[in-house]
A and B are shown apart, each in its own frame.
Chain A
Amino acid sequence: MWGQIKQALAQSTVQFLTRLATLLPGVVALILALLVSITLGCILAVIVRRLLAAIQFDQLLTRWGLPSLAELSPANSPSLLVSRATAALVIVAGFLIGVAAIDAEWTSLFVRSVFGYIPNVLGAALVLLVGSIIARFLGRSVLIGAVNLNLQYARFLSVGVKWLVVVLAVAMALEHLRIAPGIVKLAFGILFGGIVFALALAVGLGSKDLVTKSLERDAQRVSNENIEEPFRHV
């Protein structure tokens, strides 16, 4: 019986070592691929950053009217953002190559599904980026406009507009990523509908007098300004 135990142990050890031996080249290949991709990624990032600096990419973006992209970037530098994104892409590619070396069949399925999902991720990222730029732009427009109209609740209005656009962009991005689309649609519908309904109720019922007084006060102020002040500008 002792002999049988020894044999079983020896067999399992051999099997484990054999499996390990067959996996080991793949693991080494994965590590190697990762190391190479990290090195390549870093080199590429430096090259991209220098190229972008040479063409003054950050200033170009600002000149094209996209200064808010700088505010979203690390260290306020879109060049850094692009170079880091390039490095990340190279490293991810290296990782996928390394994984393919371990088990080609499983990896090909995995890679196929990952690549199939990439357009959705890119689309969602684009929606988020554009949404955030629009939200910031509209938020500032409303803030400056409301302050110039002497509205005391200017900041509140601005933040409200900004977050409405951000929420809309996030809902669109989640829809694009196919993450619980039903829930997202439902939640967004309830949220938006709720806000509009609450505003309608506020104006129609509870805050009718308040809103009327506020509007009257604003209208009175504007007409007073037109009548009383002697200032002429152009």
Chain B
Amino acid sequence: MEVEPLAQQAQQTLEQAETADLVIGIVAELDQEAITGVRDALRTLSGLPRVAILIDDRTAQPSDPDASGTSTSPFLVPWPKLTPDTPGTPMLSVALAYQSVFAACEKLGAQYCCVLASKLESTGPEWLRELVRPLVEGDVDLVAPRYARHKFEGLLNSSIIAPLMRCLYGKRIHNPLGPDLGISRRLFQRMTGADRNSGNAVSRGNALASVAPAAVCNGLQVCEVYTGARVYAPTDWTNISSIVAQVLSPIFLDMERYAACWQRTRTSVPVSAFGDPVSVSQDEGSVDISRLVESFQLANRDLQEIWGLVLPPSTLVELRKLSRMPVEQFRMSDDLWVRIVYDFALGHRLRIINRDHLLKSLTPLYLAWIASYAQALATPEETPLEQRLERLSAAYESGKPYLVSRWRWPDRFNP
């Protein structure tokens, strides 16, 4: 992981500040009032740590009396391009913000850092205090949020990221990619050290995906904090394949990096959670999945030559059967979906085809799984959301021997 060089203006402010115990980067769009709310909330932390809050210099108010002063904590540091203009690449923006925060953390010798990237429904940004509390008051190295979830939100996380990371690294972290994470200096230094030792300059987008694997594989303390439901950006359907590729690529890269670690892990255990679970109302009724199914059917017709390079014949046969199903009976089994994800992870490792092509060709299969998931949740006899997702995670875990076997012996016959 590379640490961002400090810009001159930020350098001056940080030199005035000299030190801080906690550095917080605010990536979410917050108004002045909300930022004041964050500062007031952070003042109530026990031990009164010195807190530096990085805000984007384009949104900082010059009239704010505290914008340039570092005498009272928490103090604001206008940071150049904390939220970089990278349209269509939300995860990359957050990953780059993490790089900036890590750089400030190093400079100020801070013990903890945190990024606030989300807005929550019906809660002000004060919840950030709850996120950093286990860092400051406990001996925790990674605090991940456990957002209350609506059934059709955070689908990439629910269908791939969380269950895959749980199965690989053995810790049941519900949002391993945050994006709101609290990180200790110890964890940050382990991540930096691992990169230096491996001699690889890991891609910039990788910082966020590496946090949870680095914490777990280095035996550091991980916990979760219950929060409200996160407000998600509306889906840009024309860009969905790029987002899938952008999110999954660093996760698959980390699978190579931490292969020795995850191959030793057999089962998963829950991590300790702070706070009270927040319940949200779920939308009832069915949704129209015909477009998702059509997208999958089209891909099944046209992408066979690409899928055939990655998926074994038995999976291709099952996909063909699935494509012939009517929309109302459309169901993709969890086992099939899990095998597909594992085969794509292996294809990514072996570079069977260009990695971007590979990950983008996964998109129609991901949409097929969403269609199946939405269809299942619409039926009255289906189990509640948490149980449904638990069943998917269990499928990932029971399919792990398949992944390990294919990872170790990729050339072995696979019908």
A residues in contact (CB < 8 Å) with B: 62-63, 65, 67, 137, 140-141, 143-145, 147-150, 152, 154-155, 158, 221-222, 225-226, 228-234
Within 8 A of A (CB), among B363-389: 363-364, 370, 374
Which 10 pairs between the two chains have the least Cβ-Cβ distance?
A232-B232, A232-B153, A148-B241, A225-B237, A233-B156, A230-B152, A62-B351, A144-B360, A155-B302, A147-B299
A63 in contact with B235 (CB, 8 Å): no
B351 in contact with A65 (CB, 8 Å): yes
B306 in contact with A144 (CB, 8 Å): yes
Does any Cβ of A come within 8 Å of B195's Cβ? no
A67 in contact with B154 (CB, 8 Å): no
**A62, A65, A229: which contacts B291 (Cβ < 8 A)?**
A229
Does any Cβ of A come within 8 Å of B354's Cβ? yes
A148 to chain B, nearest CB (A): 4
B152 to chain A, nearest CB (A): 5
**B234, B298, B299: which contacts A226 (Cβ < 8 A)?**
B234
A75 to chain B, nearest CB (A): 14
Determine the chain B residues whose CB is within 8 A of the CB of A63 once the complex forms: 351
Within 8 A of A (CB), among B235-285: 235-238, 240-241, 243-244, 247, 283
B residues in contact (CB < 8 Å) with A: 90-91, 150, 152-157, 232-238, 240-241, 243-244, 247, 283, 287-288, 291, 294-295, 298-299, 301-303, 306, 350-354, 357, 360-361, 363-364, 370, 374
A114 to chain B, nearest CB (A): 38
What is the CA–CA distance of A233 and B294 in the complex, to the nearest angstrom?
A: 19
Determine the chain A residues whose CB is within 8 A of the CB of B287 once the complex forms: 229-231
B346 to chain A, nearest CB (A): 13
With most chain B CB atoms within 10 A of its CB, the pick from A137, A149, A229, A231 is A231
A216 to chain B, nearest CB (A): 16
**Known: A62-B350, A147-B299. Contact between A141 and B357, CB under 8 A?**
yes
Interface of chain B, main secondary structure: helix
7 contacting pairs across A/B (C-beta < 8 A) = A140-B353, A144-B241, A147-B299, A225-B235, A225-B291, A226-B234, A233-B154
Determine the chain B residues whose CB is within 8 A of the CB of A148 once the complex forms: 240-241, 295, 299, 360, 363-364
Determine the chain B residues whose CB is within 8 A of the CB of A230 once the complex forms: 152, 283, 287
Interface of chain A, main secondary structure: helix
**Known: A229-B235, A230-B152, A230-B283. Contact between A150 and B298, CB under 8 A?**
yes
**B150, B232, B364, B374: which contacts A147 (Cβ < 8 A)?**
B364
A218 to chain B, nearest CB (A): 10
Known contacts A144-B361, A232-B153; can you find 19 more A-B pairs with CB under 8 A?
A67-B351, A140-B354, A141-B357, A148-B241, A222-B237, A226-B237, A230-B283, A231-B235, A231-B287, A232-B235, A233-B232, A233-B240, A233-B244, A234-B154, A234-B156, A234-B157, A234-B232, A234-B233, A234-B243
Determine the chain B residues whose CB is within 8 A of the CB of A225 once the complex forms: 235, 237, 291
A51 to chain B, nearest CB (A): 21
Which chain B residue shows the least CB distance to A65? B354
Determine the chain B residues whose CB is within 8 A of the CB of A158 once the complex forms: 302
B306 in contact with A140 (CB, 8 Å): yes
B288 to chain A, nearest CB (A): 7
A162 to chain B, nearest CB (A): 12
A233 in contact with B364 (CB, 8 Å): no
With most chain B CB atoms within 10 A of its CB, the pick from A143, A229, A232, A234 is A234
What is the CA–CA distance of A63 and B90 in the complex, to the nearest angstrom?
A: 28
Determine the chain A residues whose CB is within 8 A of the CB of B240 once the complex forms: 148, 233
B291 in contact with A150 (CB, 8 Å): yes
Which chain A residue shows the least CB distance to B371? A231
A229 in contact with B299 (CB, 8 Å): no
Determine the chain B residues whose CB is within 8 A of the CB of A145 once the complex forms: 241, 360
Determine the chain B residues whose CB is within 8 A of the CB of A62 once the complex forms: 350-352
A67 in contact with B352 (CB, 8 Å): yes
B169 to chain A, nearest CB (A): 20
A187 to chain B, nearest CB (A): 30
With most chain B CB atoms within 10 A of its CB, the pick from A152, A229, A233 is A233
A77 to chain B, nearest CB (A): 13
B294 in contact with A150 (CB, 8 Å): yes
Which chain A residue shows the least CB distance to B370? A231
**Known: A221-B291, A232-B232. Contact between A147 and B302, CB under 8 A?**
yes
**B154, B238, B350: which contacts A232 (Cβ < 8 A)?**
B154
What is the CA–CA distance of A149 and B351 in the complex, to the nearest angstrom?
A: 25
Determine the chain A residues whose CB is within 8 A of the CB of B156 once the complex forms: 233-234
**A65, A143, A221, A231: which contacts B302 (Cβ < 8 A)?**
A143
Determine the chain B residues whose CB is within 8 A of the CB of A229 once the complex forms: 235, 287-288, 291
Determine the chain A residues whose CB is within 8 A of the CB of B370 once the complex forms: 231
Which chain B residue shows the least CB distance to A148? B241
Determine the chain A residues whose CB is within 8 A of the CB of B90 once the complex forms: 234
What is the CA–CA distance of A221 and B301 in the complex, to the nearest angstrom?
A: 20
B302 in contact with A226 (CB, 8 Å): no
Determine the chain A residues whose CB is within 8 A of the CB of B247 once the complex forms: 234
**Known: A154-B302, A234-B91, A234-B243. Contact between A226 and B235, CB under 8 A?**
yes
B354 in contact with A67 (CB, 8 Å): yes
What is the CA–CA distance of A154 and B299 in the complex, to the nearest angstrom?
A: 9
What is the CA–CA distance of A145 and B239 in the complex, to the nearest angstrom?
A: 10
**Known: A147-B299, A228-B288. Contact between A233 and B354, CB under 8 A?**
no
A135 to chain B, nearest CB (A): 14
A152 in contact with B298 (CB, 8 Å): yes
Determine the chain B residues whose CB is within 8 A of the CB of A231 once the complex forms: 152-153, 155, 235, 287, 370, 374
What is the CA–CA distance of A41 and B150 in the complex, to the nearest angstrom?
A: 68
B102 to chain A, nearest CB (A): 22
Determine the chain B residues whose CB is within 8 A of the CB of A221 once the complex forms: 291
Which chain A residue shows the least CB distance to B360? A144
Determine the chain B residues whose CB is within 8 A of the CB of A150 once the complex forms: 291, 294-295, 298
**Known: A229-B235, A232-B153, A234-B247. Contact between A137 and B291, CB under 8 A?**
no
